[in-house]
Amino acid sequence: MPIAIKNEILKDDTIIDSEMTNLDLDVILKLIQELPDQYRLVFNLYQMDGFSHKEIAKMLGISENTSKSNYHRSKLILRDKILELNASNKTKLTSHEE
């Protein structure tokens, strides 16, 4: 499951850097926990628990399209946070090398 989560977060966009796939699972789980509630809930139900968007929509009283949208937005937020984290780590490495 950990590899599947990483791949799912990263697959939608062309920004797939080898460093992102090497992130520690604990870091990714922490980032997921930081998502806004509605995005985190849909992300967890879909990605981790395996529910369909139709099932999630019924459970949460939202439309199927809202479930899909929240899931997509959660992945965009996670991707951006991962990119920020990598940029920060690269900056730290560069400053230590000088």
pLDDT in tens, 33-51: 999 999 999 999 999 899 9
Q: Using one digit for the tens of pLDDT, what is the confidence trace for 78-91?
A: 989 988 887 887 66
Quick one: which H or E segment has residue 58?
Answer: helix 53-60
- Give the predicted TM-score (pTM) of the model: 0.73
Burial 7-40 (b: 16+ CB within 10 A, else e): ebbbeeeeeeeeebeebeeeebeebbeebeebbb
Domains along the sequence of the chain with CATH: 2-97 (1.10.10.10)
